[in-house]
Each structure stands twice: as structure tokens, then as C-alpha cells.
Amino acid sequence: MEKICVAVRVRPPVTQESFNGTFWNIDDNRISLHKSSGTPISGVAFTFDHVFDQSCPNSRVYELLTKDIINAAVEGFNGTVFAYGQTSSGKTFTMNGSENNPGIIHRAVKDVFDMITKHDEREFLIRVSYMEIYNEEINDLLMVNNQKLQIHESLERGVFVAGLREEIVSEAEQVHKLLEAGEVNRHFGETNMNVRSSRSHTIFRMVIESKTKEMDGSSSDAIRVSALNLVDLAGSERIAKTGADGVRLKEGKHINKSLMVLGNVINKLSEGAKQRGHIPYRDSKLTRILQFSLGGNAKTSIICTVAPEEVHVEETRGTLQFANRAKRVTNCAQVNEILTDAALLKRQTLEIEELRQKLQGSQAVVMEQEILKLRNDLLKYELEHEKLAMELEEERKLQRQRDLHIKEQQIKINNLSNMVNFSDSERKSNTTQHQSLSGQGMGERSINSQHMRQEEAFSTPGFKEAPKSYVVRRSNYARVSDSDASPLPDAFNDVADEDAWMKMNKGYVADLDSICMTPAIKVRSLSSDGISPAFSKGRYEHEIQNLRKQMEIATKEKDELEKNHRDQVLLNNNLTKEITELREEAKLTREIPQMLFDSVTTCKDIYNDVLSVMQRSVDDEKSFANILLTCMTEIGSNLFSTLETHCRMAVDGYQTFSTDTSILQEQCKILCDRLNNSVALLASSDAQTTMEKESTTRQCGSDYKGLEFGEDFACWNEKLSNEINTFRDKYISLEKDHDHFKQVLEESNSSYLDLERELQVLQQDRETLLDKVFKSSQNLRLVSEERDMLLERYKSEVQKRKSLKQGIEQFRVAFVSRQRSMASFHSDCKSRLEDHMSQNPVVEVSSFGF
């Protein structure tokens, strides 16, 4: 185990400002904040492996911080160097350098090729790749079209970016050209802080493969593969200072977010193996790719760049706190060798042979080295065992969490199925009612029964209230375990704001850890075919979120439908009330023709009575009065029977009545004219007779009887005229009544038609609602099907996990037995050595460290 090497580099100030308040003081490997008076500020002093001041050139930084790692990479160790710091603090300057002052990357490339030439006994194959992480997407800088690449993991290759172009190179110049080409594709942008600010994290990777050259036709078959990562991170930034907006702001958010995850990972790693628990490597692409460089199998150096200006004192302090925590992170680097079975066998035979020779040759010093080697091996195995045990523990935890999720899913599925079943049955019942409704006629006579049916239909709600248990279960579902977890991606949306930035850069460790956590899902130790890549935490959360959204949409739709339904029921009630009132009115209107008929009959009776009395009083059947009365009786009976007929028609059906009124009016008019003519004729003939009688009286003296008859006739004539006038008045008033009732009837007819139209619109609305209910129930069914699929996948994943666990267990057992055999081998060696010592007492046993 070795600690990560951490150095701080202070860049030259951009402007020569005078320090009014504080300044950073560098003393050897120590950097501290001082007041302008020179007094150190307590609590703001840090010591690192190296602290480089502003005058330090790139060559020195490289020599002290990187060269060893490059050496080790050629030997077969993984190596990583990365620059971390606020924007414009000199990360790119350190990693890439300038034309006259090459940075770490260029020097490393040159050295790799220089070093391999010194290893005559080995042959090398070097591959390089260059990628950037821009807005949390991985792009290949050596191939412009290679974008949005995915990260994968396998036992053989570890964590790798699938589809990334790897160029085989044989000399430094070739790599420099590739780097230049990659730089062109890299995302830079101008901010208030830096005219050429890196807007992405870049990772330049060299994979160095080597094996011993074949000597005398034999080779060791062991291949060493090491990866050297040279990383230039984008700088953390305060939006207020960079003035970022639009695209820059989005970039800034992504940069701060991934740096925050990096800080989180460093925090966890710095806590020590026992307390740290789950390491949230998977929360950002950067930490995922650098996983093995942070607390894993690699030699790592971090160079933290800071700005000396007083205005950046808070940012510098944050960077130093990050560096201070990084100091505590330990890695366990080892040579990466890939051995074929034959090579393994050959190597073990050789080892045994060597041991035998050493034992026989009594080379105590060699033996001592051998024992030390064995002890180291043992230590390595122990570490590996510890790591495996931790992974196993993590797997168990994950298993428990997954079980919990499956249970929650099950509950959700049950609830959804309930809803789907429920809405199905509702839909069916509504459809039946709807069909019965549409089969109804809309005639006036069927209003009553139709109204009853409509009332029934409208009073059936489209949805019932969800069972109470559903609500309770749902709230259970929303409860997420926050133990052993990492930050939710959503929680990072506002990382770019001031508060989050302060937390990140001021180094409040506890605050960083208190961010809302998601359950840790780790498949690091799985074989490539063990678990499908689709089953990842991100995907799982995404699916859950999708399902939640669908659920919310379905619930909203349901609420809306319920609201519409309530409105419709209200509207329906109002309509029903109006229909009832209208029916009352219609009933009254229907009674009017009957009343009219009754009054016509009464008038007819009176008229007949009057005429019969009059006829009885006239003795002479051939007299004018009698003729007149007979004529009037005839006219009257005609008139009344016409009126009666029409009134009867009105009683039987207002439609017919309304169409025939013109005929009635015409007939009445004809009869009136005839009556008037008869009366006029009677009056003129009466006047002529009177005149004749008067002249006869004048000629023959007075005639009492003739005079009496003339008076009687005039009196009757007057009475008759009066009767006719009364009759005419009555007729006119009846006609007026008739017109009025006709108007009322027409009005009620049109309002009835309006209501009918409204009813049709309501029915259409209802149909639309039913349709919506049907669709949402279909949606729910789809969701439930999706749930089922998800559940199935869960089950299969659980099964895979189980088999994996068994595999790990088997491996553990094999490992323990190997350990035992090592221990017995060790004790065997020890006893042999002791025997040997006792036979050769020159060397003391204690010097071997037992």
C-alpha cells in the first residue's frame, strides 16, 4: 500500500497587486496563509509532498512528481497523473505546457520512448488514446465522429471506454502529432477568468504492453500491460467570477458536478478502509474512468494548481483542503502480468527449482530475500482477500437493497393492477349505460323514461376513490433508504450556484457527505457475461423515474376525469331540473286546447239556447225573422262545429292544430261575412216592409196590429244584433287566446329543441370522457405490463447475483486453501531455515525478522 503523491503548484500572479489583507507563503513543502503584516493565520497551513512556487518550471514539476510514475508504467505498473484546481490556475499549463516549456504529457511521452529503448530484454507495444469528458459525455479526441462513448468493465480489461480509438505508436513524434490533432477537437471557451478555458476533462492514455524477448527460442509467455493516464481536469469555477451564462453555464455546472463527485470519492477514500463503506465512483464518468487510479491498482500523483491572488483566497483554500484529503488516499499498485497456463506452470517450476538450489547452496542472504518476497506475496494476498471480503459485503448490502426494491416494485405493481382492474370494470359499466342511452328515441312522449335513464347514467361515477391502502403503500414506496449511498444525480443541478460551490471548495467534508444519497450498486467484480450491462443503477433509477412519471400522469388524468365527471353530473342535475320545469309548462300548454274546446262547446250551447228561444217566440214559420233565425242557426252550427273540430285536433296533437289554424280563421271569416250579409239583407228588407206598412197606414188609417209587429221586429232585430256582436267578441277573444297559446306552444317547442341539443352535446362530452377513461385504463395496463417485465428482469438479475455470490464463495474457499498452503509452505521454509541456521550458526536468526 502506498499513499498518493500530492503536490501544490502556485502560478505566477496575473497582475502585480499589493497584498492588503493576506498572502500565501511557501516554505519548502509547506504553504500557509499570512496576514499582510506577516503573521500566519492559524489553521490555514498545509504540508504536501511538494509545493512548487511560481518560479518553478514544468521540468522540475515533471522530475519530482511524474518521472517515477512513468518509469513504473514502463515496468508494468498502472500510473496516473492529474491536475486539479480552480479555473485559470495553470492546470493546462502544467499538463500540456507551452511551445517553449513542454508540460508533463509531452515530457512523459518522450521519456516512455527513451526508457523502453533501455529495456533491451523486452519488446514493447504502445497504444495511445485521447478522450474528453464534455458535459458528462465521453468524446474521442482522435476521431471526431466517435462521440458519446460508453464505459464498460470486464475482468480482463477492467474499466474501459468502448469504441475509443487506440493508435499503435512507435515513436514520440507520432504521439505529439496525435496530441496536436486531439487538441483541435477539444472544447475550449472564453470566460472572464481565462481566455482559453478548458471546458472538458481530458484523459490522455498510453497503454504499454511488454514481454521478454525470445532468447534461444524461448520466452516467458507473460505479458505486462500497464495504463498511464495523464489527466487535465477542467477547473472548478464560481459562476459569479467567470460570468458564465448559456452554454458556458451549462458546461460550468457539469464541470463543478463531476469535480464534486471527485471530491466525494477522495473524501471517502481518505476515511480509511473500515469507515469509508461505499465509494461513489459511478456517480460521474470521470471517477468511473479513474476508478483504479483512486484507491486501486495504480501509482498516482495529483498536482493541485492554485492562484496566488488575494481575490482567489477562498478558492485556493478549497483546493488545498482537497489536496490535504487526497494525501490520505492509499493505492495498492502491482505489476500487471497476464500469464498463460503454460507460462504459469513454467514459472512455478522455475521458482521451486530456484528455491531448491538456494536451500542446497546455503545462501542465507538469498534465502532472506526469498522469505521477504514470500512475506510480501502473503501481504498482497491478504490485501486481496480483504478487498474481496469488502466486495462481498458490498454485494450483500446491494442484495438486501435490491430485495427491498423488488418488494416495493411488487407493491406498486399490485396497486397499478388494482387500478387497471378497477378502471376496466368502470369502463365496462359505463359503456353499457352509454349503449342503453344511445338506443333511446328523443320524442316528446318518451321524455319521462329517457330522463330517468339519463339520471341513472350520470349518477354513476367514472372512477371510484382509490382504496386507502393504496395511498399508504405509495408513501412507503417513496421512502428510500439513505444508508451506504451516493449523491443523487438530480441533486447536482445547482452545483454551479454559490452555496454549492462554497461547500465544495471550502472543504466542508461533512456537508459533502450529507448530500442526498442513492443506493450503491456495484458490479465491479463481475465478469463481462455475469450481469447484463443494461442492469445498472443509472438505468434502474431511470426506469423507476419513468414509471413514477407515468404513474403521476395517470393519476393526473384520473383526477381530471373525476373533475370533469363531477362537472358533468352538476350540469346534468341542472338540466334535469330545467326539463322538469319545462314538462310542467308543457303539461299546462297541453291543457289549453281542451279548455278552448270546453269553452267553444259552452258557447255553442248558449248560442243554440238563445236561437231556440228566439225561434219559439216567432210563430210564423215563413216570416223573415224565422228565416233569419234558421239561417243563423245553420251558420252558428257550422261555425261552432268547425271550431270544435279544430279544438279537438288541438287536444289530440298541437302539431296538427298549429298547421290548421289558417283554415279555421278563413272559415270563421267566411261565416262572419255570411252572417253580416244576412243581417244587412234582413235589415234592408225590414226597412222596406216598415216603409210599405207606414204608407198603407197613412192611406187606410191607423192599424194597431201592423204597428205592434213593426216594434216587435225592431226589438228582435236589435237583440239579435247584440247577440251577434257578443258572439263575435267572444269569437275574437277566443281567436286571441288561440294565438297566445299557439305562441306559448312554439316557444316551449323551441326551448325543448334547445334542451335536446344541449343534451346531445352533453352525451358527446360523456362519450369523450368514457373514451379517455378507456385510454387511461389501457395506459395503466401497459404500465403494469412494463412492471411485470421489470419484475421478471429483477428476478433473473437476482438469480445471476446468487450464482455470482456462489462463484465468489468458491473463489474465497479456493483462496483460503491457497493461503493455507502458502502458510504451510512458509512454515516449512521457516523450519528448514532454522535447521539450516542451527547447522550454520554464523548468521543470527533474529536478523531475518521472525
94 or 784: CB nearest ligand ATP: 94
Least distance in angstroms from the C-beta of 300 to ligand ATP = 19
C-beta of 468: minimal distance to ligand ATP in Å?
Answer: 56
The minimum distance between CB 301 and ligand ATP, in angstroms, equals 17
- DSSP notation for 746-770: HHHHHHHHHHHHHHHHHHHHHHHHH
| Cα separation, 254 vs 485, whole angstroms | 21
Provide, rounded to whole angstroms, the least separation between the CB of residue 251 and ligand ATP. 10
From residue 805, how far is each of 491, 554, 798 by CA, in Å?
33, 39, 10
Stretch that binds ligand ATP, among 142-150, 152-160, 195-203, 802-810 (CB under 6 A): 195-203
Q: Residue 625 CB: number of other CB atoms within 10 A?
A: 20
What x-and-dash track marks residues 282-311 binding ligand ATP by CB under 6 A? -----------------------x------
Nearer to ligand ATP, 90 or 507 (CB): 90
Report the distance separating Cα 297 and Cα 294, nearest Å.
8
In the numeric block, the cell 257550422 is attached to: 638
Q: Chain-centre distance of CA 242, in angstroms?
A: 32
**Residues annotated in the binding site for ATP, as ranges?**
85-92
Stretch that binds ligand ATP, among 91-99, 308-316, 371-379, 764-772 (CB under 6 A): 91-99
In the bound complex, what is the minimum distance in angstroms from residue 817's beta carbon to ligand ATP? 52
Q: How far is the CB of 18 from ligand ATP (least distance, A)?
A: 20
**705-764 binders of ligand ATP (CB under 6 A):** none
- Binding of residue 235 to ligand ATP (CB under 6 A): yes
- A 10 A CB-CB count for 659 gives 10
**Residues 359/365/367/370 CA torsion (nearest 10 deg):** -150
**Cα–Cα distance, 358 to 363 (Å, whole number):** 6
User: Does residue 90 touch ligand ATP according to CB under 6 A?
Assistant: yes
Work out whether 89 is an interface residue with ligand ATP (CB under 6 A).
yes
Residue 231 Cβ, how far from ligand ATP at the closest point, in Å?
A: 12
Write the CA distances from 682 to 343, 621, 626, 727, integer angstroms: 152, 15, 11, 18
The binder of ligand ATP chosen from 32, 66, 78, 92 (CB under 6 A): 92
Q: What is the CA radius of gyration of the chain?
A: 54
- In whole angstroms, how close is the CB of 529 to ligand ATP at the nearest point? 41
Selected range binding ligand ATP among 169-177, 190-198, 388-396, 759-767, rule: CB under 6 A: 190-198
Residue 840 DSSP symbol: S
Distance CA 593, CA 817 (A): 113
Q: Is 194 in the site for ligand ATP (CB under 6 A)?
A: yes
- Element housing 583 (H / E): helix 537-617
Half-sphere exposure of 681 (CA within 13 A, CB side): 13
CA dist., res. 789 & res. 779, Å (int): 15
Nearer residue to ligand ATP within complex by CB, 198 or 401: 198
Cβ neighbors of 148 (< 8 A, separation 6 or more) are 137, 138, 139
According to CB under 6 A, which residues from 69 to 88 bind ligand ATP?
85, 87-88
CB of 11 to ligand ATP, least distance (A): 3
Beta bridge partners of 33: 24
Size of the site for ligand ATP (CB under 6 A): 17
Q: Is 39 left (phi over 0), alpha (psi -120 to 50) or beta?
A: beta
CB of 89 to ligand ATP, least distance (A): 4
Pick the closer one to ligand ATP by CB: 326 or 675.
326
**Contact pattern for ligand ATP over residues 305 through 344, marking x by CB under 6 A:** x---------------------------------------
Nearer to ligand ATP, 236 or 267 (CB): 236
Nearer to ligand ATP by Cβ, of 234 and 420: the residue is 234
Q: Which residues are known binding-site members?
A: 85-92
Query: Which residue, 72 or 304, has its beta carbon nearer to ligand ATP?
Result: 304
Give 90 or 295: the residue with its C-beta nearer to ligand ATP: 90
- Alpha-carbon distance of 513 to 630, in angstroms, equals 120
In contact, 338 and 222? CB cutoff 8 Å: yes
Does 91 bind ligand ATP (CB under 6 A)? Our answer is yes
Residue 202 CB, shortest distance to ligand ATP, in Å, is 10
* DSSP 3-state of 12: coil
What the block records as the C-alpha cell of 820 is 493455507
Amino acid at 213: K
User: Which residues, including other chains, have CB under 8 Å from residue 66's CB and lie 6 or more apart?
Assistant: 81, 104, 107, 108, 301
Cα angle, residue 47 at apex, residues 43 and 51 outer, rounded to 5°:
125
Nearer to ligand ATP, 315 or 408 (CB): 315
Residues 789-848 that bind ligand ATP (CB under 6 A): none
Q: Which is nearer to ligand ATP, 89 or 433 (CB)?
A: 89
Q: Which is nearer to ligand ATP, 91 or 742 (CB)?
A: 91
- Least distance in angstroms from the C-beta of 86 to ligand ATP: 7
Span near ligand ATP by CB under 6 A; candidates 30-38, 179-187, 193-201, 785-793? 193-201
User: Among residue numbers 137 through 166, which ones bind ligand ATP (CB under 6 A)?
Assistant: none
Tell me what percent of the chain is helix, strand and coil, each rounded to the nearest 5. 65, 15, 20
Asked whether position 11 contacts ligand ATP by CB under 6 A, the answer is yes
The answer to whether the CB of 752 falls within 8 A of the CB of 586 is: yes
Residue 579, C-alpha cell as written in the block = 326539463
Q: Which three cell numbers stand for residue 540?
A: 434502474
- CB of 235 or CB of 507, closer to ligand ATP: 235
Contacting residue, 112, 133, 141, 234, with ligand ATP by CB under 6 A: 234
Q: State the residues that interact with ligand ATP by CB under 6 A.
A: 11-12, 85, 87-93, 194, 196-198, 234-235, 305
